[in-house]
Amino acid sequence: MPAVVVLGAQWGDEGKGKATDQLGSRVDYVVKFNGGNNAGHTVVVGDEKYALHLLPSGILSPGCVPVVGNGVVVDLEVLFEELEALTSRGVDVSRLLISSSAHVIPSYNRTLDKVTERFLGKRQIGTTGRGIGPTYADKMNRVGIRISDLFDEKILREKVEGALTQKNQILVKIYNRRAADVDAVTAELLSYADRVRPMVADTSLVLNQALDAGKTLVFEAGQATMLDVDHGTYPFVTSSSATAGGVCTGAGIGPSRVDRVVGVIKAYTTRVGEGPFPTELHDDLGEHLRKTGGEYGVTTGRPRRTGWYDAVIARYSGRVNGLTDLVLTKLDVLTGQEKVPVCVAYDVDGVRHDEMPVDQSAFHHAKPVYEELDGWWEDISHCRTFEELPVNAQRYVLALEEMSGTRISSIGVGPDREATIVRHDLLD
Ligand code: IMP
């Protein structure tokens, strides 16, 4: 089973790191194929806790090659900060490979991200402010800067100049900010060239050769399905392809090489940033889920919005990603509820929708149609087999599986690495 995609099936923060972790030492390559340092995952190894934003979680597993694919946008300052922080704690980071075609996030795009959000006012997206959107926009506009440009000063300067000709007009005339200086930006980017050079590779070639050699590769998506630029709740999305299709373009492998697509999904739902969220709770129960689930962003520290499980989204995610498995996380957070509502359909202005409404406005008006399942009170964090779960927790999982249309292969019952019930091996 060589190529496994692990992605978020909701709005992010589902605990993808834990799913990758579960695959453990059997994985030879962990590949990031989209997004940048807008992501955030906490990985616990022994007593040590690591918060990663840009680097793939494989960086912490000795014997595993972490790869940053061409579809990622790289903030070089953050890259070296993360690498230095890991090195100072004794982690060997020498195996890291970065695609020469990955785009870099120049400082002017961080500025533009923040001022654009401010300018949007009430219509803001709630971005992480890391320059992600403007950098993907540059890529599509063909004015982006790629890692390979760092190795040719003349080309780099021309590209920075080309980008700034337009961007400085926007910065100065629309946003009333200072213009970015071509020399300063070029010099800053060049200052990373020698340090990044040893990590740079044709990662598509490396990954395809690894597949040919029968290695095990995990493609770990940043963000999640409902934040995907095509399939998410546009415009309240990130600017990259966070669904399974993104693996092909963002890592340079063909779709026929992917064997398994694993969607990680919480037993309830969370979202950060703006945008529609039909099952959102604005009451004490929402606060209870936030507190019990520790629902605060790793990247920005923002409190996450919380709500019940949405089976319509789970089915949609199954469809657009071709999910083969679901990894259900944080079931323990639901312990202690008399009834646990699950959204099975939407009511849109009096019309029942069993599938995601295609129309954006309809989704904004969607009211959840709930089915109430019986809750459980017992502490489940020690359970290691499905049968050990209280019968109502078992029924909850089986109901989600049926409503969502994808088998639930593992269940998270607590924050510890071991607090997982495995029903089907993700690498079988
Ligand atoms: P951007 O990716 O910074 O452009 O932000 C766009 C939207 O995606 C905002 O709503 C962010 O809160 C959300 N977002 C970006 N990265 C993550 C993530 O890793 N987890 C959850 N939400 C994210």
The pLDDT value given to residue 134: 97
What is the CATH T-level fold of the domain 103-194, as seen in this structure? Adenylosuccinate Synthetase, subunit A; domain 2 (1.10.300)
| 41 in catalytic set | yes
Q: What is the pTM of this model?
A: 0.95
Ligand 1: residues with CB < 6 A are: 12-13, 38-40, 125-128, 130, 132-133, 222-223, 227, 236, 238-239, 272-273
Distance 375 CA to ligand 1 centre (A): 32
Q: What is the pLDDT of residue 40?
A: 81
Which of 3.40.50.10860, 3.90.1150.10, 3.90.170.10, 3.40.50.9100 would CATH assign to domain 264-422? Answer: 3.90.170.10
Q: Indicate the pairing of strand 351-353 with strand 339-348.
A: antiparallel
Nearest CA to ligand 1 atom 8: 238
Domain boundaries, the chain: 3-98+200-261, 103-194, 264-422
Q: How far is the CA of 219 from the CAs of 90, 229, 250, 251, 382, in angstroms?
A: 25, 18, 10, 8, 30
Ligand 1 nearest-atom number relative to CA 130: 3
Residue 119, phi then psi, degrees to nearest 5: -65, -35
Task: Read off the DSSP letter of residue 152.
Answer: -
Ligand 1 geometric centre to CA of 207 (Å): 27
CATH architecture of 3-98+200-261: 3-Layer(aba) Sandwich (3.40)
> Quick check: 255 and 5 in contact, CB under 8 A?
no
First to last CA, the chain: 6
Angle between helices 153-169 and 107-120 (to 10 degrees): 20
Q: Average pLDDT of each block of 10 consecutive residues along the chain (428 residues)?
A: 92 88 85 94 77 88 93 97 93 96 97 93 90 97 97 97 96 95 97 98 98 96 97 96 98 96 98 94 96 88 94 98 97 97 97 94 95 98 97 98 96 90 90
The pLDDT of residue 364 is: 93
State which ligand 1 atom lies nearest to the alpha carbon of 127. Answer: 5
Q: Is 168 annotated as a binding residue?
A: no
Q: Which helix (H) or strand (E) holds 261?
A: strand 260-266
Q: Which residue has the tokens 């309809």?
A: 362
pLDDT of residue 1: 61
Instruction: Tell me, yes or no, if 382 is annotated catalytic.
Output: no
CA distance 321 to 75: 28
CA dihedral 91, 21, 12, 304 (to 10 degrees): -70
Query: What would the DSSP string read from start to end of 344-375?
Result: EEEEETTEEESS--SSHHHHHH-EEEEEEEE-
